Structures are given as C-alpha cells and as structure tokens.
Amino acid sequence: MSDNCCQNKGCELSKLKKQQAKVLWTVLFINLGMFVIEFGAGIRADSLSLTGDSLDMLGDSLVYASSLYVINKGSKAQAGSAFFKGIIMFLFAIAVFARASYQLFTSAIPEATIMSTVGVVALLANLLCLLLLTRHRKDNLNMSSVWLCSRNDIIANTSVLAAAVLVFLTHSILPDLAVGLLLTFIFAKSAGKVLSQSWREMQQAE
C-alpha cells in the first residue's frame, strides 16, 4: 500500500510538472510575440512606456525559459532560477531609467494612438498569461516568481494606457516619462523581493 501511495504521488508530481511546462511554453511564445510588436511600436511612437513594457516582455520570455529549464530540477536549482529572474528585473529597471533620461533631452511627444492600440493588445495578452499562471502560482518558488512577473505586466499595461490618454489630452511628454519611471520603480521593487526570497532558498538548500 505504501508503494502504491508513493507511485501515486510520483504520478501526480509528474503530471503537475507537465501541466506547468505546457503553461510556461504558452506564455513564453505570447511574450516573445508581444515583445516584437511592442518594441517596434514603442520606437515608432517615441514612447518610453511602450518601449519599457516591451523590454519587460523580453525579460519575461527569458524568465519563462529559465523556469522551463529548472522545472524538473531540485529546489536549489529553482531558487537559482528565481535569483536569475530578479537580476533580469533589476537590469530592465536600469534600462528603462536610462531610456527615460535620454527621452527627457529629446522631448519628442509620443503618438497616443499607437500607444493606446498596442497597449490594449498587450493588456489582453498579459491577462491571458496571468489567467494561465494563476492556478500554479502556489506550486513552488519557481512558479510563484513567474506569476509575480506576469502580475507586474498587468500593472505596466494599465499604466501605458493611462499614459496614452494623458499624452492625448495634454500633448505633453511628461505622462509617458512618469509611467516609464513608475515601471522602473516596479521592476526594482519586484527584483528586490525575488532576489531576497531566492537567496534565502539557496542558503537553505545548501
């Protein structure tokens, strides 16, 4: 009976990992596609918030790829993957801040129409990703850190849409810059949370 119990638990764990992998592959391709769309639109529209959000999409793609790599590995490897995700978040915070500094000097007013259209598409894509990941967010550190990345995307998309409306109403660069700096803060804060949690997990796994 004990052997059957162990076998059942092993089967359940294997099934769970397959489900996690399927979800991760799906959200990986969604984010890669949206990165290409948003980055091109962000450059064309001179929008810091769109460009920043596209970098977030690229970062998430790397995050999902890392999560897939460690999905069948132990807790230490998964903690290492989460630590890697934290570093990515922090690097993108620096990148968005650098872009904000550059755009402040160029003073190019973004195209609100492109911002709003692409922003809605990105929001819908990220809502789908969050929905797919929510059922697995409490499985382990690997999946919870992935879910956190996806949740941040919703915040970023909503902010981009708000910036588009304000740019349209004010014909000013300031709303776009403000959202870009908000994204910098969100990335940095999430990076700190993931880095500290994964570091503790790595220390405990030794």
Query: What mean pLDDT comes out for the span 179-198?
Result: 78
Q: Is the pLDDT of residue 129 over 80?
A: yes
Q: Is the pLDDT of residue 70 over 80?
A: no
The pLDDT value given to residue 142:
65
Q: Is the pLDDT of residue 14 over 50?
A: yes
The pLDDT value given to residue 205:
63
Domain annotation covers residue 56 = yes
The pLDDT value given to residue 9:
46
Q: How many CA atoms lie within 13 A of 20 on its CB side?
A: 26
The pLDDT value given to residue 124:
93
The pLDDT value given to residue 29:
92
Q: Domain range holding 69?
A: 21-205
Of the spans 68-82, 88-102, 113-127, 136-150, which averages the highest pLDDT?
A: 113-127
**Could you give the percent of the chain with pLDDT greater than 70?**
82
CATH number at residue 93: 1.20.1510
Domain annotation covers residue 12 = no
pLDDT-based confidence at residue 13 (cuts at 50, 70, 90): low
Query: What mean pLDDT comes out for the span 20-43?
Result: 88
Q: Is the pLDDT of residue 7 over 60?
A: no
Domain annotation covers residue 1 = no
**Could you give the percent of the chain with pLDDT greater than 90?**
9
The pLDDT value given to residue 6:
45
Q: Which amino acid is at 16?
A: L
Domain annotation covers residue 2 = no
pLDDT-based confidence at residue 99 (cuts at 50, 70, 90): confident
Domain annotation covers residue 116 = yes
Instruction: List pLDDT tens digits, range 134-153.
Output: 887 776 666 776 777 777 77
Domain annotation covers residue 8 = no
- The residue among 8 and 169 whose pLDDT is bigger is 169
The total domain count for the chain is 1
